[in-house]
Structure 1
Amino acid sequence: MKFKGQEVNFEMIIWFALNILIIIDILLITIAMLFTLPEGTEMGIQMFDFCVCILLMAEWLINLYFSASKTEYLKEKYNILALIASIPFDVIIPIVIPGINLLRYFRLLKLLRIIALFNMFIDGINRFIKKTNLDKILAGVFLTILIFTGALYIWGTSYSLFDDFYFVIVTLTTVGYGQSQLPFHHS
C-alpha cells in the first residue's frame, strides 16, 4: 500500500494501532481499578475494553489460522499470554457463574490481563527495537557520551565529572545551554 508516495506495510500499521489501543486500555483499566468512577464512565471503559478484547481475539485467531504448526503456536508462551489478554473476564464470568458476587476476584483477573497486555506491549517494543537496530544505535550514542565525558574529564579543564557529562550532552545535542551572549557593537 502506498501513502504519499511511500510504501507502507499494512501489518505494521495494524500492529502499531493494536499497541496504541493496548496502552489506552491498560491506562483505562488501571484508572477504573484505582478510582471510583461514575457508572456511565465505568460502563464506557468496559465497552472499550470489550472492543479491544474482540480485536485481540481476532488477531490471535488469524495468527493461529496462518501459523504453520498449530500445536507449536499453542505451546508458545507469548501466544498463551495473548490469549489471556484477549479474554474479557468482566463479561464472561457473570454469565458462566450467575448469582455469585466475584467482584473482588475481577480485580485480580484484570491485573492478570494488565500484566498480559503489558507483556504483549513490551514484546512488541522489543521486536521493533531489534528490527530497527535501535539497540545498537542507542549503545553507540551511550558509548560516545561515555568516551567523550571521560576524555574531557582526563584531558580537559574539568570542574567535575557531572559538568563534563553536561558539556558533552549539550555539545552532542547542539542545545547550547549556558552559552554567553556575544556583545554587539554598533558603530
Structure 2
Amino acid sequence: MLSQEFMSLERRLKQRSDSKCEFCASEENLKVYEVPKSPKGDLEANILICNNCFGQIENPETRDANHWRCLNDSMWSTEPPVQIMAWRMLQRMRSEGWPQGLLDMMYLDEEMMDWAKAEGDGVDKTNELVHRDSNGVILQAGDNVVLIKDLKVKGSSMVAKQGTAVRRISLDHENETYIEGRVDGQQIVIITEYVKKI
C-alpha cells in the first residue's frame, strides 16, 4: 500500500507539473523521483518524471543524448529539484558537445551549486582512472569490446577465444588495465590491452 504521505506528494507534483514529466513533458507512465543528496524534503526534493527519463538516469548505458535535448526547455524551470537534475544530466553528457552551451547559460546560486555537485557531477576528474583498449581508445562502462587474442581464464579450463564479443563491460575502479565482462555466461576479468572497442 502506498502511504497517504506519498499519495499526497504525487498529487502535488502532478499539480505542479500539470501531470507531465518535468523533463520531457511526456504524460505517460509518470513516477515520483527523489533527487539524490537533497538538503530539503517533500516537494523541494522530488520531481515527476516519465519511465523513459527515469530509466536513462538510472542506467547510463541506455542514455539517448537526443532525448535529453528536452533540457533546452526544462532547465529554465523555476523548481530547484528540476534545475538540479537538469544541470546534472547536462554534466553527464558534456562529451556530446551541445550540453556545454546550455550549461554556460545556466545559473545556480552557491547553495544550489553545492547540492548539484553533491553527486560528483561537474567535479574535476583529472585524477580519475582512464581505461583504454589495445588501440588507445577510451573504454567506458557499458561499451562492447572484442578479444584480440585467445585468453586462458584463471581458475578454470576455459579459454576465451580471439574474436569473442564481450558486451556491456564494467570497469575496475582501482586498476585502469582491468575490465570485466561476460564470456560464455561467465563473468571474467580481462586485461584492456587484449581487447578492441567495437
Structures share fold, TM-score greater than 0.5: no
- Structure number with greater Rg is 1
Higher helix fraction (1 or 2): 1
Short-chain TM bin: under 0.3
Larger RCO (CA under 8 A, 6+ residues apart): 1
TM-score when scaled to structure 1? 0.24
